[in-house]
Amino acid sequence: MLQKIYDWIDDRIDITPIWRDIADHEVPEHVNPAHHFSAFVYCFGGLTFFVVVIQILSGMFLTMYYVPDIENAWQSVYYLQTEVAHGQIVRGMHHWGASVVIVMLLLHTLRVFFQGAYKKPRELNWVVGVLIFFVMLGLGFTGYLLPWDNKAYFATQVGLEIAEQVPFIGMQLKTLLAGDATIVGAQTLTRFFAIHVFFLPAALFALLAVHFILIRRQGISGPL
Amino acid sequence: MSDEKQQVSRRQFLNYTLTGVGGFMAAGLLISPIRMAVDPVLKDSSAGDLANVGLAVEDITSEPQRIDWSVNQVDGWYESEVNRSAWVYRNDDDEIVAFSPICKHLGCVVSWEGSEQHPNEYFCPCHDGRYYKDGTNVPGTPPLAPLDEYEQEVRDGMLFLGDARPRGEA
């Protein structure tokens, strides 16, 4: 049945070459943990992406309950945690995944660094990777405020003051982030929410696309 | 390669294994989010308590009168007072009847004698839906069912109303 549906579509729009282009590629022996167990270090990039997928999925579901409003944000998170079946688990996935994604990302960076895989011709992909790292940190920073509890509030207070230390444009940068020159409040929360669920994910998807296209175009770096 | 021995080819076996493992991981990932998303469907709705609507039973006449009261509503993390309305009258058997004003066509609000052309009827202005005094929908007008009736109780001479139920169930 599935085969028939696939054939019907493939017959008309020839999709086989598309997914073959994506899925069919050789995995060199030196990156295959089945040949050399130490090759597991090559998994960190893929694991980072896997955790990112978890973050996207759990985040999408969390927005079914969460409200980015200072009156209701904490209440809605509390309700999700205590009254909704599996709500605790889904928020746990997003909460712990946020840390795991940074850990995986750092391990991936260390592997690329110590293997010298960033060297010519792959310098551009290193740069894209560093941009992804910054976007991830931004996601972590903006997401931290959303539960609107004491920890979130004061952490954001500190983060905004760090932004204020930027020479010349510090004040403006802080106001741009917080939505107000002095208050960390209603406008800050909506801004951080918008940045967390729309702006940074959009940037992340674009950068990930470039990252993956480049790795396919240039191939994995050779053995040490 | 003899066909009898090799029912499952190496490639097929790999496909099944990878699909199985992948499906298992996807299921593990999605089961909690999906359970969380469908939670409102699986939660049993708590039946509301009866509320004092501020109308003494002796003031109920055979002429439907509109009464408004408010109840406490818990909506997830948000609690508020919401307004309710009813049309209350005494029928020919001297029983108190309280109708929900929500039209059974598309949910507008009906009024007793809401149209001058249709005396002695409930009238819905949205699509000219009509109901007789006993709540039955007038045949040929848009509503397909009679008006819902509130659960009711009389305590200390005051009228208490609960949830509106479709007639026949009430």
Both B1 and B75 in a single domain?
A: no
| Per-residue pLDDT reduced to its tens digit, A73-109 | 999 999 999 999 999 999 999 999 999 999 999 999 9
Cα of first residue to Cα of last residue in chain B, in angstroms, is: 73
Do B18 and B73 sit in the same domain of this protein? no
Give residue A24's pLDDT band: very low, low, confident or very high (50, 70, 90): confident
Report the predicted TM-score, pTM, of the whole model to 2 decimal places: 0.85
Q: Identify which of B134, B142, B63 has the alpha carbon closest to the alpha carbon of residue B107.
A: B142
| Distance of alpha carbon A118 from alpha carbon A129, whole angstroms | 10
Q: Do B31 and B110 share a domain, yes or no? A: no
Substitution target from B45, B74, B75, B77 for chain A, most A beta carbons within 10 A: B77
Same domain, B27 and B60: no
Query: Per the domain annotation, does B63 fall within a domain?
Result: yes
Confidence of residue A23 (pLDDT cuts 50, 70, 90): confident
Note whether B32 and B81 are same-domain residues: no
Tens-digit pLDDT profile for residues B89-137:
998 888 899 999 999 999 999 999 988 898 899 999 999 999 999 999 9
Which residue in A57, A85, A93 is closest to B39 by CB distance? A85
Q: From the centroid of its chain, how far is CA A177?
A: 20
Q: Is B170 within the bounds of a domain?
A: no
A145, A197, A74: which is closest to B78 by C-alpha?
A74
Q: In chain A, pLDDT over 90 holds for what percent of residues? A: 91
Peptide bond connecting A121 to the previous residue in cis, omega within 30 degrees of 0: yes
Judge whether B100 lies within some domain.
yes
Q: Is the pLDDT of residue B169 over 60?
A: no
Same domain for B64 and B145? yes
Looking at the fold, whether B121 and B61 belong to one and the same domain comes out as yes
Contact B33 A90 (CB under 8 A): yes
Is B81 among the domain residues? yes
Q: Is the same domain home to B93 and B148?
A: yes
Same domain, B116 and B33: no
Which residues are registered as beta bridge partners of B155? Answer: B158
Size of interface A-B (CB pairs under 8 A): 45
Domain contains B137: yes
Find residues 22-51 of chain B whose CB sits inside 8 Å of chain A.
29-30, 32-33, 35-37, 39, 42
B11 and B28 together in one domain = yes
Is B128 inside a domain boundary? Answer: yes
Residue B144 sits at φ, ψ, to 5 deg, of: -110, 0
Does residue B5 lie in a domain region?
yes
- What domain range includes position B89? 51-165
Q: Indicate the pLDDT class of residue A38, thresholds 50, 70 and 90.
A: very high
Give residue B170's pLDDT. 41
The ipTM of this complex is: 0.86
Residues B59 and B23 placed together within one structural domain of the fold: no
Alpha carbon distance A204, B89 (integer Å) = 64
| B157 shares its domain with B115 | yes
Contacts of A76 in chain B (CB under 8 A): 76-77
Give how many domains chain B has, as a whole number: 2
Q: Per the structure block, which two tokens stand in for A55?
A: 């973050």
Q: In CATH, what number is assigned to the domain containing residue B117?
A: 2.102.10.10
Domain assignment present for residue B155? The answer is yes
Contact A85 B42 (CB under 8 A): yes
Q: Which residues of B touch A86 (CB under 8 A)?
A: 32-33, 35-36, 39
- Among left, alpha and beta (phi > 0; psi -120 to 50; other), residue A86 is left
